[in-house]
Structure 1
Amino acid sequence: MALPSALEALATSSQEEKTGQVMGPTVFHWADMKPVKTATGEVRSLCKAPTATVDQLEMHVTTLNPGESPHPPHRHVNEELIILREGECETLSDGKWVKVGPGSVVFNASNSLHGFRNIGTAPATYHVINWSPNKAKMS
């Protein structure tokens, strides 16, 4: 049986996504974040839900095994932050691969080609926060 990719693992819906309920103040405890094994490591899904100001807020924590990437470089409309917790990685940013270490923060602008890969000898763990603006409330 093949392990799911990081993207497939994230497809599991949170309760907020299922109900369309606007997410209010929330605390996510590490001990409550259940890891789902993927072909490249594991992922912990925190939320995928609307908030008062965005159509969708999606957050997850990914652990990549050495030499792995969660997916090929890609583009999407939503903007995203990646915060490296541990490990040595490279991020594709503005057409160049840039080395990042623990504590580094990466901003991927809307529709920018971006990618991420573990270049170290140990697992790398990073937090991903991405959002789509609430266009109806922006006008």
Structure 2
Amino acid sequence: MAREGRQWSDFEIAVSDYLTTLREKAGEPSYRRLAELTGIKFSRLRDIFTKQNGTPTLQEFIDLCLTFGKDPADVIYKIMKDLEAKGISLSNIPAQNDPADEANAALASADNGVDIDAWADRIKAEDSVHEEQP
């Protein structure tokens, strides 16, 4: 029985499309040439560029981005923004929020009613008592 690759998400399709654009801009190097540069088998490269079989792994994505001179993080951000601009929901990808806001919210909800400032003052007072003792 034949195995099917995992269903490609909108994001993974956009990744393949973007990588295809990069390949075109690079003069359309052959899959065998890209295999030499990336270490990815040429048949696997063909699958990635033609959106067949399994979706690209993170390592394959990184290797291809770097081969084309692109920062993988920048590429992910660009693809996400492009999809959002087209109205394609990335509901399984968390929205970008300020990490500091998220951390503060987590701390605020985790305090269980404890006055953190009073607790800190108490610790400072205890530390000063311990420092004064010989």
Q: Answer yes or no: same fold by TM over 0.5.
A: no
TM range (shorter): under 0.3
Structure possessing the higher radius of gyration over alpha carbons: 2
Q: By percentage of residues, which structure has more helix?
A: 2
Q: By percentage of residues, which structure has more strand?
A: 1
TM-score with structure 2 length normalisation? 0.21
TM-score with structure 1 length normalisation? 0.20
